[in-house]
Amino acid sequence: MSNHSVTIKDIARILGISKSTVSRALSEHTDVNAKTREKVLALATKLRYQPNSIALHLKQQRTNTIGVIIPETVNTFFSGAVSGIQKIATLAGFQVVVCQSNECYTTEKDNLHSLIATRVDGLLISVSRETENTDHFDTLLQNNIPVVFFDRICEKLDTSQVFTDNYQIAFEATQHLIDQGCRRIATIAGPSHLYTSCKRFEGYKDALMKNNIEFNPDYLIYADFKQESIERFTRRLINLKESPDAIFAINDMTAIEMMHVIKKNGLRIPQDIAVLGFNNDKIGQFVEPSLTTIDMPAQDMGEAAAELLLFHIKNPNQRPEKRLINSRLIVRDSTRLRP
């Protein structure tokens, strides 16, 4: 039985004035007799009056809440992004409801519908690995619900988006490997319908092409991370007749696990195989050799996405915006072959 919370009605009754006067006194806006206001304010604090936000929401038809759909929290990139989102949201007096799709298309749909049902004022979305069809997002556009996609965006949709230069940085990373003397560069690719995977793969291929290195399909691993273990496909790579001299992995955890397998098999890093990660997890500095990686500005992306969303919430009929956030290559020992 929650403490029978005090309402403006109670205050009005006790003070012998009307609800509306109390409301006005509390809202500080309209003119109301200084003495009346004082009395109201005094009683309000005495009674620990707390405005009922639900009633406000109903009145204003807004919830001061933004919904977030991400693949999974237990991924430092996304938890970093969420931190950025929360920071901006809190500053603006908004709550944040976070849902995880667990990389699953149907869960993502469910998340979306439940967030819409609870009437969030806007959404921040990074799509799941499984999401090919994006029809479920049409509701947002149709109903004019503000939405900003970030990182794993949907290019086709005419909404605001915040993303990194996946193509550019993958190109740069591949070029770095080539500059170190690597020629047989393996990579792990996510599903081609996923924005980030697709762009990164293009950057990788174009870097090869620019350096007149033929793309070898044997060096491409499709990671669905479901059945096949990282150990298994790392072994497969190592055992190729012409085994790769570098691996451009999809994230740091995968890179580190691969390094582990490579070392177990008696190969040296980077001399026999150079390894390059993605994400700049803190741990990359402490493994041996330290891991070359790409720093993803997770927090910045979250902040940018949240700012953009708040802008759209406050200014309903603005055109969508695209915001690019730069990532950067961090070279460490796992790829250092030349001085």
Identify the residue among 13, 42, 46, 52 touching DNA (CB under 7 A). 52
User: Applying CB under 8 A, does 6 fall inside the site for its own copies?
Assistant: no
CA dist., res. 305 & res. 164, Å (int):
12
**Could you say which residues in the range 60-89 bind DNA, by CB under 7 A?**
61
Q: Which residues pair with 66 in a beta bridge?
A: 96, 122
For residues 126 and 69, is the Cβ–Cβ distance under 8 A? yes
Rg of the chain on CA atoms, in Å? 26
Least distance from C-beta 97 to its own copies, angstroms?
Answer: 5
- Rounded to a whole number of angstroms, the minimum distance from the CB of residue 42 to DNA is 14
Q: d(Cα 246, Cα 115) in Å, to the nearest integer?
A: 43
Smallest distance from the beta carbon of 48 to DNA, in angstroms?
12
Q: Does 27 bind DNA (CB under 7 A)?
A: yes
Largest CA distance in the chain: 91
Place of tokens 């070029």: 175
Region 48-107 residues binding its own copies, contact defined as CB under 8 A: 50-55, 57-58, 61, 63-65, 72-74, 76, 79-80, 82-83, 86, 90, 95-100
CB of 101 to its own copies, least distance (A): 11
In sign, the C-alpha dihedral spanning 118, 122, 124, 128 is: positive
* Whether 78 contacts 71, CB under 8 Å: yes
Per-state percent for the chain, helix, strand, coil, to nearest 5? 45, 15, 40
Give residues in contact with its own copies (CB under 8 A): 1-3, 5, 50-55, 57-58, 61, 63-65, 72-74, 76, 79-80, 82-83, 86, 90, 95-100, 114, 116-119, 142-145, 253, 256-257, 259-260, 263, 282-283, 285-288, 316-317
Give residues in contact with DNA (CB under 7 A): 5, 7-9, 16-21, 23-24, 26-27, 29-33, 35-37, 49, 51-52, 55-56, 58-59, 61
